[in-house]
Amino acid sequence: MMIQRAKRHRFHFLVFIFSFLSGCQQTKPVPKTFPISVEVEKIEPKTIPAVSEYIGIVQSSHEIEIRARITGYLDTIGYVEGAFVKEGDLLFQIDPRPYEAALAKAQAQLAREQALLWQNKRAVQRFMPLYQQKAASQRDLDDAMASEMSAHAQVMEAQAQVTDAEINLSYTTILSPVSGLTSAAQYRVGALISPLQDKMTTVSVVDPIWVNFSISEQDILDSQSQIRQGRLIFPPHEQFGVELILGDQTLFPEKGIVNFASPSYSQTTGTLMVRAVLPNPHQILRPRQFVRVKIHGATWPNAIAIPQSAVQRNQKGSFVFIVNANNEAEVRLIDPGPWTENEWIIWEGLTPGDQVIVSGVNKVLPGSPVNVMKERSIPEKERRGRSTP
Query: DSSP 3-state assignment of 150?
Result: helix
Is the per-residue pLDDT at 226 higher than 70? yes
- Average pLDDT of span 230-255: 94
pLDDT of residue 75: 96
305-357, pLDDT tens digit by residue?
999 889 988 888 899 999 998 889 999 999 998 887 678 899 999 999 999 99
156-167, pLDDT tens digit by residue?
999 999 999 999
The CA distance from 78 to 92, in Å, is 5
Evaluate whether the domain defined by 36-46+302-382 bears CATH number 2.40.420.20. Answer: yes
pLDDT of residue 196: 87
21-60, pLDDT tens digit by residue?
444 444 444 444 678 888 888 999 989 999 999 999 999 9
Is the per-residue pLDDT at 5 higher than 60? no
In this structure, which topology does domain 97-170 adopt according to CATH? Answer: Helix Hairpins (1.10.287)
pLDDT of residue 137: 76
pLDDT of residue 375: 67
88-130, pLDDT tens digit by residue?
999 999 999 999 999 999 999 999 989 988 988 887 777 677 7
pLDDT of residue 374: 67
- Average pLDDT of span 171-184: 96
Lowest average pLDDT, out of 231-240, 292-301, 353-362, goes to 353-362
Lowest average pLDDT, out of 54-68, 207-221, 252-266, 347-361, goes to 347-361
Instruction: Please state, as a whole number, how many other Cβ atoms lie within 10 Å of the Cβ of residue 14.
Output: 10
Is the per-residue pLDDT at 295 higher than 60? yes
365-375, pLDDT tens digit by residue?
888 898 888 66
* Percent of the chain surpassing pLDDT 70: 86
- Average pLDDT of span 233-246: 94
Q: How far is CA 82 from CA 181, 182, 201, 204, in A?
A: 6, 5, 10, 10
The CA distance from 84 to 63, in Å, is 13
CB-based contacts of 19: which residues, under 8 Å, 6+ apart?
A: none
The domain ranges of the chain are: 36-46+302-382, 51-60+206-300, 74-93+175-198, 97-170
349: phi then psi, degrees, rounded to nearest 5: 115, -25
- Average pLDDT of span 4-13: 47
CA nearest neighbour of 171 among 95, 267, 69, 71 = 69
Contact (CB, 8 A) for 274 and 258: yes
Q: Residue 274 corresponds to which amino acid?
A: V
pLDDT of residue 376: 62
Q: How far is CA 24 from the centre of its chain?
A: 77
Q: In what order do the strands lie in the sheet with 90-94?
A: 173-175, 90-94, 72-77, 192-193
| Average pLDDT over all residues of the chain | 86
Is the per-residue pLDDT at 377 higher than 70? no
∠ CA 20-26-32, rounded to 5°: 145
Is the per-residue pLDDT at 1 higher than 50? no
Q: Residue 130 corresponds to which amino acid?
A: L
The CA distance from 33 to 363, in Å, is 13
Given 3.90.700.10, 1.25.40.10, 2.40.30.170, 3.40.50.1240, which CATH number is that of 51-60+206-300? 2.40.30.170
The CA distance from 357 to 93, in Å, is 75
Q: Is 386 exposed, middle or buried (0-12, 13-18, 19+ CB in 10 A)?
A: middle
- Average pLDDT of span 269-289: 95
Give the pTM: 0.74
